[in-house]
Chain A
């Protein structure tokens, strides 16, 4: 478990979700799994905070106010600082078509709401494992 004492910093997860109850509870779950989290309730908040926070993982809702998750993902993937960030689409839509669209937009993973804790735990753990390897090891 990366707890900040073993030399490696705690994995940082940014949650982009406009449903506040869902954002907050997801944040708490991420925290309980031993990671750091930051909430962004709109694409604008995400854009404002993302460079300063330097998240290792961004979990993103697709239906967002102002700009949808696909476009926000495309935009953020262009940031040089986020080159190693893993993008997870979190959506109520589980159809193959939506998976294809998230893939095209540059998401690495696609999770369907409601979230299963085990699935989230496994996914974040596997991402964490690849984090502290050198690029050659990945």
Chain B
């Protein structure tokens, strides 16, 4: 019995109500029943008992039958009549013999048992413990029911959440589809004239028009490369993988580069551009290329969203410990509800303007991210549709550096003829590189896979290996490592050529033993510079 009661202690406490008008009876009952895990409440009258019953959750009530004012049976009947107490089991304690009729009335009132005074301690304990067990089981079932209910609610919540997520995904998916369609369209815009140009050159390869066509193709290709660079930037931004090459620079240098980059678009829109930049250098800690990109993207944006012949003002001014760069246009303006959204990726203000300048809706998103990476802030303002827009970028002002680092001029001297091994599985890419190198006066040779490259390198001992990274079978890293493992290849300069221009790719290339890393497409200028560096280091 004790064992049975004692195991209750681990669970929640069980409350038992003891009702007797005689204090000594209550005390002896309490003494008999006292156990860990049992809470014994005592009442010396029916009214007191009712009060306790309403306040506490009672597992069992032990009622003395003979009490003044309200006897045990009256109390039991009142308990039956109350929703809160009607299910509390009642055990009557009777003094002396109780006749059948009285017992019957007791059961009618809801008694579950009668115990004869003087009480048998073991019998009492045993019966009480049975009711305690019952109570606990009931609690457990109620608990399980609550758990089930909570579980069902949780399921419902998860279901709703997954619906929400599915909707968000669908929306994102739709935005992605729209973006891909726009992207395909934007890529075709420069591709179409390039193809036309090729066909014209095929029919009429010489003459003045051919020169014009080639210039046009060069411009369109530059535009195409720019689009793809922007795309890669976006992917780097969204993965937080843009590397800034920080240095202390004058903001004027970035502005100058930006103006150069954006001039064609501003001229094409026949806009009047006013530039208000102070003479003394304003210093900032940042990446020159990225700061120029910020300003240039803002200028391009102004040029795109301003009808032909508009006004664009670029002003730069110190403002306390900040530099304020402001691009103001007389363009189509921005609706108030779009002001916050213009910096979001793939957002494009619905435009009735020239579709061929549509772009991808990533320029301003890049601006905001790049500004934040420079610990600055970008804000858009507009008086509304038709009232022009103003974009303001604030960057922390830096102090003047002790001395400007001397400008290093790339050695543009004529390269001495070099033996160059070009390794690329893309034959077109390899052949065009070979032709460019021949035109530069070098002696190029082509291998279209890793093993062929190793054989060619062993047989011909090139000065330079231009190595593509992404090749099937043996990739560029492996070719490079194998070459570096050959002592006779020690003086060979190995240059990685890849479509991936990220800092991590560069590091991986240098780890594999590459001397240089260039990003495709490689222009004639870069090729010349890289080879002249190799040539001069060989000479020295």
Cβ B213 vs Cβ A92 within 8 A: no
0 or 1 for each of B205-238: is its CB under 8 Å from A? (1 = yes): 0000100010010011000000000000000000
Q: Among the listed A18, A19, A25, A116, which residue makes an inter-chain contact with B197, where contact means beta carbons less than 8 Å apart?
A: A25
Measured CB to CB, the closest approach of chain A to B385, in angstroms, equals: 17
- Point out which of A22, A24, A64, A115 has the most chain B C-beta atoms below 10 A from its C-beta: A22
Contacts of A53 in B (CB 8 A): none
Cβ B356 vs Cβ A18 within 8 A: yes
Distance between Cα atoms of A66 and B256 in the complex (Å): 33
Cβ B216 vs Cβ A21 within 8 A: yes
Contacts of A92 in B (CB 8 A): 184-185, 188-189, 192
List which A60-94 residues lie within 8 A (CB) of chain B: 63-66, 92-93
Contacts of A1 in B (CB 8 A): none
Cβ A21 vs Cβ B220 within 8 A: yes
Cβ A29 vs Cβ B184 within 8 A: no
Distance between Cα atoms of A113 and B209 in the complex (Å): 22
Cβ A22 vs Cβ B200 within 8 A: no
| A26, CB-defined interface residue at 8 Å | yes
What number of A-B contacts does a CB cutoff of 8 Å give? 67
Contacts of B353 in A (CB 8 A): 65
| B383, CB-defined interface residue at 8 Å | no
Distance between Cα atoms of A21 and B191 in the complex (Å): 11
List which B178-197 residues lie within 8 A (CB) of chain A: 181, 184-185, 188-197
List which A1-30 residues lie within 8 A (CB) of chain B: 18-19, 21-22, 24-26, 28-29
Cβ A29 vs Cβ B196 within 8 A: yes
Q: How large is the interface on B (under 10, 10 to 19, 20 to 34, 35 or more residues)?
A: 20 to 34
| A135, CB-defined interface residue at 8 Å | no
| B155, CB-defined interface residue at 8 Å | no
Distance between Cα atoms of A54 and B193 in the complex (Å): 26
| B146, CB-defined interface residue at 8 Å | no
Distance between Cα atoms of A24 and B204 in the complex (Å): 15
Cβ A63 vs Cβ B196 within 8 A: no
Measured CB to CB, the closest approach of chain A to B220, in angstroms, equals: 6
Contacts of B192 in A (CB 8 A): 19, 22, 92, 113-115
Contacts of A28 in B (CB 8 A): 196, 200, 209, 213
| A96, CB-defined interface residue at 8 Å | no
Cβ B356 vs Cβ A63 within 8 A: yes
Contacts of B55 in A (CB 8 A): none
Q: Among the listed B194, B203, B354, which residue makes an inter-chain contact with A32, where contact means beta carbons less than 8 Å apart?
A: B203
Distance between Cα atoms of A21 and B219 in the complex (Å): 10
Residue ID in chain B nearest A112 by CB atoms: B188
| A101, CB-defined interface residue at 8 Å | no
Distance between Cα atoms of A19 and B356 in the complex (Å): 6
Measured CB to CB, the closest approach of chain A to B241, in angstroms, equals: 31
| A123, CB-defined interface residue at 8 Å | no
| A117, CB-defined interface residue at 8 Å | yes
| B355, CB-defined interface residue at 8 Å | yes
Distance between Cα atoms of A22 and B188 in the complex (Å): 11
Residue ID in chain B nearest A25 by CB atoms: B196
Cβ B356 vs Cβ A115 within 8 A: no
Q: Closest 10 CB pairs between A and B?
A: A25-B196, A63-B355, A114-B195, A21-B193, A113-B192, A114-B192, A92-B188, A65-B354, A19-B356, A117-B199
Q: Write 16 A-B pairs (CB below 8 A) sorted by A numbering.
A: A18-B356, A22-B189, A22-B196, A25-B196, A25-B213, A29-B199, A63-B355, A65-B353, A65-B355, A92-B189, A113-B189, A113-B191, A114-B191, A114-B194, A115-B195, A117-B199
Interface residues of A (CB under 8 A from B): 18-19, 21-22, 24-26, 28-29, 32, 63-66, 92-93, 113-117
Contacts A24-B216, A28-B213 aside, 4 further interface pairs with beta carbons under 8 A come to: A22-B192, A25-B193, A32-B204, A92-B188
